Amino acid sequence: MNAIKSDSDAVGVILAAGRGSRMRSRLPKPLHRAAGKPLISYPVELLAQCGIEDIVVVVSPENGEAISAVLGSGITCAVQPTPGGTAQAVACALATLPIAPSQVVVLAGDTPLVRPQSLRNLMSDHAGCSSRRMTILSAADAFASDLGHIKRVGAAGASGRVIAIEEASERQDDAIGPAEVNTGVYCFDGPWLADMVDRVRPARSGERYLTALAAMEDGAVSALPIAWADEAMGVNDRLQLSAVETVLRDRINCHWMTEGVTIVDPSTTYIDADVAIGLDTVVLPNTMLTGRTTIGEECEVGPNSVVSDTVVGDRCRIVASTLEEARVDSDVSIGPYCHLRPAAVIEAGVHLGNYVEVKNTRVGSGTAAGHFCYLGDADIGDGVNIGAGTITCNYDGVDKHQTVIGRSAFIGSDTMLIAPVTVGEGAATGAGAVVTRDVPEGRRAVGVPARLLPQQSGSE
Ligand code: UD1
Ligand code: CA
């Protein structure tokens, strides 16, 4: 495992203890979602992608519990008792470590667009100079009035020496032109950081800014500018949240198109960060693929479909339907206007036509339910025909009950199956039957309540 570490003694620190007041939300800012994932997950995954396994997330007493629930085990949380600024937050993180690590990478919890390659470049630039104490990932020519500006002297552009980071709150002029901005991603010499971070004086706001360190040591501070300014975008308010979301969605769509997926209208296609899609699948307009959804190869999804946390096989067609926490095997056609709810398992070759709702039900391979019906808490065998208007009456007002339909059964139109009830293999129900008792294998039941017809001659 340690072999992939770019520095065996690098620790990642993620700052997430700020008030987040500009969001105007009851939900802590790090838990707001972009492309379906909490903001805090982005820096955590970024560090992991860059080989940093030791991670400390700085949280507040208010948001700590909710954040650590999202992070899961293996990540340390350090509590910053009051939001006294980013320098104080880093000090809280370092206080949890037994010794200062050789390298500390600091990221903000609200900057989800930084690419792994940029962080890798930053780390190797930092490691390449032994006298370096602090290396800042900056973005050149950015228009971002709420970010810190990198101040240099001497040579023009990126060759000038970094002498300070000027915070938006401290700027005299209301600079509107392009500037080199601080992305909030840094690489530090660990022992130097541990020593200096406590010496940062409070700014006018009373907070101790991590960025003040840039002015505290001549020549040992450098900034590495990256070309894409979108990586510097942070989320301080909901306008920026939606701007970040747009960039993420665009990146995700581009990724899948590069991987061999046709997206007919990227501007109305919403694919979450953790979705996977197979080769030659076509995604039609107004479609959302969310959560941990996986779509197989050569499918056609949409128009107007929502697929959430669902696994879909190959060569499926999903038209104008909503699928949630379901499983759909290969060669299935669904819709228009179907609703698959949690624990719907649709086996290979099934056809679900207009207005079919399925919940907690296995639909066996080759079965067809072509027209409006409700199939809940049922186990339906292979090759069954479900007539229009069939309902599994699974709820008696107190409890839910199961319906079992054997393979090759024929359920007549408008059959009410009063659960618990079993329709045997090869059995049939007549149109409008209200089935209150089990129908044995191969038998036919008709009427209200349904009665068994005499066995046909030749059958058992
Ligand atoms: C900060 C930088 C700014 C940079 C920008 C990049 C400082 C002083 N300024 O500004 O130069 O351009 O990020 O996005 O660092 N936090 C804590 N504890 C605190 C205060 C903040 O953990 O006491 C956390 C926040 O939750 C947030 C991060 O630190 O995740 C940055 O804080 P924020 O208030 O958003 O700083 P910016 O104004 O965006
Ligand atoms: Ca911020």
Q: Which one has a higher pLDDT value, 158 or 375?
A: 375
Contact 438, 449 (CB under 8 A): no
Inter-CA distances, 346 with 154, 249, 328, 364, 381, Å:
68, 29, 5, 7, 11
Residue 92 CA to ligand 1 center (angstroms) comes to 15
pLDDT digits (tens, 9 = 90+) for 431-444: 999 999 999 999 99
Whether residue 449 has a cis bond before it, omega within 30° of 0: yes
Q: Pick the atom of ligand 1 nearest to 58's CA.
A: 22
d(CA 167, CA 280): 48
Residue 141: pLDDT over 90: no
Residue 2: pLDDT over 50: no
CA terminus-to-terminus distance, the chain: 65
Tokens 């530090």, located at residue: 188
Nearest to 222 by CA among 121, 127, 136: 136
Region 316-337: mean pLDDT is: 98
Instruction: Please tell me if the CB atom of residue 211 comes closer than 6 angstroms to any atom of ligand 1.
Output: yes
351 is catalytic: no
Tokens 């197989």, located at residue: 296
Tokens 């700085």, located at residue: 58
Q: Which one has a higher pLDDT value, 176 or 316?
A: 316
Q: Across all residues in the chain, what is the average pLDDT?
A: 94
Q: Pick the atom of ligand 1 nearest to 147's CA.
A: 12
**Helix, coil or strand: residue 90:** helix
pLDDT at 386: 98
Confidence of residue 175 (pLDDT cuts 50, 70, 90): low
Which 8-state DSSP code applies to residue 50? T
Residue 88: pLDDT over 60: yes
Residue 426 CA to ligand 2 center (angstroms) comes to 65
Residue 13 CA to ligand 1 center (angstroms) comes to 13
pLDDT at 173: 67
d(CA 427, CA 192): 80
Residue 269: pLDDT over 60: yes
- Nearest 5°: phi and psi at 110? -120, 25
Residue 400: count of CB within 10 angstroms of its CB: 13
**Helix, coil or strand: residue 222:** strand
Region 163-176: mean pLDDT is: 81
pLDDT digits (tens, 9 = 90+) for 206-261: 999 999 999 988 779 999 999 777 999 999 999 999 999 999 999 999 999 999 99
Confidence of residue 1 (pLDDT cuts 50, 70, 90): very low
Nearest to 403 by CA among 380, 383, 425, 385: 380
Ligand nearest to the CA of 30: 1
Confidence of residue 287 (pLDDT cuts 50, 70, 90): very high
Q: What's the gap between Cα 246 and its chain centre?
A: 14
- Nearest 5°: phi and psi at 211? -65, -20
How big is the CA angle at 64 (ends 63 and 66), to the nearest 5 degrees? Answer: 70
Catalytic residue among 126, 149, 255, 371: 371
Burial of residue 50, with CB atoms counted within 10 A of its CB: 0-12 exposed, 13-18 middle, 19 or more buried: buried
d(CA 260, CA 372): 35
Residue 271: pLDDT over 60: yes
Residue 234 CA to ligand 1 center (angstroms) comes to 9
DSSP per residue over 334-354, as a string? E-SS-EE-TTEEE-TT-EE-T
Instruction: Please tell me if the CB atom of residue 14 comes closer than 6 angstroms to any atom of ligand 1.
Output: no
Strands 410-411 and 444-446: unpaired
Which 8-state DSSP code applies to residue 315? S
